[in-house]
Amino acid sequence: MSNIPLAERLRPRTLDDVVGQTHLVGPGGVLRRFVEAGNVPSFILWGPPGVGKTTLARVIAAQLERPFFTLSAVTSGVREVREVIEKASKQQFFNSPSPILFIDEIHRFNKSQQDSLLGAVEQGVVTLIGATTENPSFEVITPLLSRCQVYTLKSLNNDELQQLLERTLSLDAELKERNPRVVETEALFRFSGGDARKFLNIIDIVARATDGDIVIDDQTITDCLQQNLALYDKNGEQHYDVISAFIKSVRGSDPNAAIYYLARMLAGGEDPLFVARRLVILASEDIGLANPNAMLLANACFDTVHRIGMPEARIPLAETTIYLATSPKSNSAYAAINEAMAFVERDTTNRPVPLDIRNGVTKLMRDEGYGKSYKYAHDFGGFAEMEFMPEGLSGKRFYTPNTSNTTEERIAERIKTLWKGKY
């Protein structure tokens, strides 16, 4: 058989070849309309692995006949970004459309790397297409996000997987020579998990693991994957269902389920730092003030995993997973910042900060009353009652302690005592 993987042999060349994502590339789909109009803005494709993010970028560039540059956020730094932008600028001629710059795993770029893209995107030197498995709202800086539309890609459903199977067996010359016969598809669909790349890799594994005619049935698929687990998962990325189950098991205080899903991710070749990042988020979002030590342990876990790597990293990951799963839970800080941010977005008035707590750094500001009546809390035993909220928001409460845990029960009592029922 050819050394070229099946997924590469069958990579779509036009939008009509793409299976799934009909909301974007089907009749009337927004990406199809862009291509038909010949005018594509910068955008970010957000979705799970194996749903066609890279393929769509390549197809769009090919159909528009635009120069295509690509960077991987895993291996590229600011220098590489600037070099590619310089090359792209040299490809531009008078009134010609801008080249396309595709950045895979753009969520892995840090702030300075993302900042280095802003000028080129804003000036139209390049049309940026980013791909990410992470929520761009949290992973992409606001100035860059404001210059890009975000389009969500979905895992393939069983009907779409069936369509992909039929396309594969009818188009691939190497498979057709082996008289492929489909008996059952349940295992094939289940193991692929809506990931087109995994789906094609499984078929490739079956073809390479057997001689003669190819038979696709549940037993053959299961046996081949057990024998070729390393090959199947060598380049595997997190499966959304498994990471979701892991997070929900920790949140739901089930250490056994959490450890099980942790083992599945690590056995599948998941990046341990990805798991460690999720534990830091869990410690803040779901445990929070109920047990502030959870954040300390999760951060220590992240640092340790970064230093030692696998296989030893499995131990601090397991320790932290169990600790977080068995810890008291509170999302009060998470809820407080969400409510405050939602309020700020709705509150269109530019509420002035009270004069008493402004910083009077110049004589003019002090003459205007900046900081005039400020009470330094430590001069009053650690607390001095003042109004810190802008006018019109006195008594507005965003943080509500979760008194089902002892730590926040004490916090609630302290707030009540200090503020005499104001909050």
Q: Express each pLDDT in 370-404 by its tens digit.
A: 998 899 999 999 999 999 999 889 999 999 999 99
User: What's the CA gap between 24 and 12, in Å, rounded?
Assistant: 15
What per-residue confidence (pLDDT) applies to 231? Answer: 41
Percent of the chain at pLDDT above 70?
94
CATH pick for 242-326 out of 1.10.10.10, 3.40.190.10, 1.20.272.10, 3.40.50.720? 1.20.272.10
Residue 307: other Cβ atoms inside 10 A: 10
Total-model pTM: 0.56
Q: How confident is the model at residue 329 (pLDDT cuts 50, 70, 90)?
A: very high
Average of per-residue pLDDT across 171-181: 89
**21-152: CATH architecture:** 3-Layer(aba) Sandwich (3.40)
pLDDT (tens digit per residue) in 212-235: 889 899 888 888 876 554 443 434
Supply the pLDDT for residue 240.
65
Q: What is the pLDDT of residue 165?
A: 93
Question: Which has the closest alpha carbon to 313: 301, 323, 324?
Answer: 301
How far is residue 128 from each of residues 81, 123, 124, measured CA to CA in Å?
12, 12, 9
Burial 91-111 (b: 16+ CB within 10 A, else e): eeeeeebbbbbbbbbbbbbee
Q: Could you tell me the sign of the dihedral formed by the alpha carbons of 28, 142, 62, 11, in that order?
A: negative
- Mean pLDDT across the chain: 87
Q: Are 137 and 145 in contact (CB under 8 A)?
A: yes
Of 410, 387, 314, 6, nearest to 171 by C-alpha is 6
Predicted pLDDT at 335: 93
Instruction: Over range 124-129, report the average pLDDT.
Output: 89
Task: Name the band, by pLDDT with cuts 50, 70 and 90, for residue 198.
Answer: confident
Query: How far is Cα 100 from Cα 57, in angstroms, rounded to an integer?
Result: 8
Residue 125's pLDDT is 87
Among 39-43, 95-99, 215-219, which is the least confidently predicted range?
Answer: 95-99
Tell me which of 131-135, 180-184, 378-382 is least confident: 131-135
Strand bridging mode 100-104 / 127-132? parallel
Question: How many alpha carbons fall within 13 Å on the CB side of residue 354?
Answer: 14
Q: Are 258 and 322 in contact (CB under 8 A)?
A: yes
Structure tokens at 212: 């003669």
Q: What pLDDT is stored for residue 94 in this prediction?
A: 61
Which percentage of the chain shows pLDDT scores above 90?
A: 46
The more confidently predicted of residues 295 and 266 is 295
Predicted local confidence at residue 105, as pLDDT: 85
Band of pLDDT at residue 361, cut at 50, 70 and 90 = confident
The DSSP call for residue 5 is -
| Model pLDDT, residue 95 | 67
> From CA 366, how far away is CA 369, in angstroms rounded?
5
Token pair 């070729």: residue: 228
What is the SS3 assignment for 311? coil
Could you give the strand order of the β-sheet that contains 149-152, starting from the edge strand earlier in sequence?
Answer: 68-72, 100-104, 127-132, 43-46, 149-152
Comparing 12-26, 193-207, 230-244, the range with the smallest average pLDDT is: 230-244
Tens of pLDDT, residues 137-159: 877 888 888 889 899 998 899 99
pLDDT at 2: 65
pLDDT of amino acid 313:
92
pLDDT tens sequence across 225-282: 765 544 434 344 445 678 888 999 999 999 999 999 999 888 877 788 889 999 999 9
Question: Any bridge partners for residue 44, and if so which?
Answer: 130, 150
Lowest mean pLDDT segment, chosen from 52-66, 116-130, 393-407: 116-130
C-alpha to C-alpha distance for 176 and 161, rounded to whole angstroms: 19
Q: What is the DSSP pairing of strand 68-72 with strand 100-104? A: parallel
| Whole-Å CA distances, 27 to 24, 36, 310 | 9, 11, 47
Q: Where are the domains of the chain?
A: 21-152, 158-233, 242-326, 345-419
Residue 122 — pLDDT band, cuts 50, 70, 90?
confident
Residue 7: its pLDDT value, please? 86
- Band of the pLDDT at 135, cuts 50, 70, 90? confident
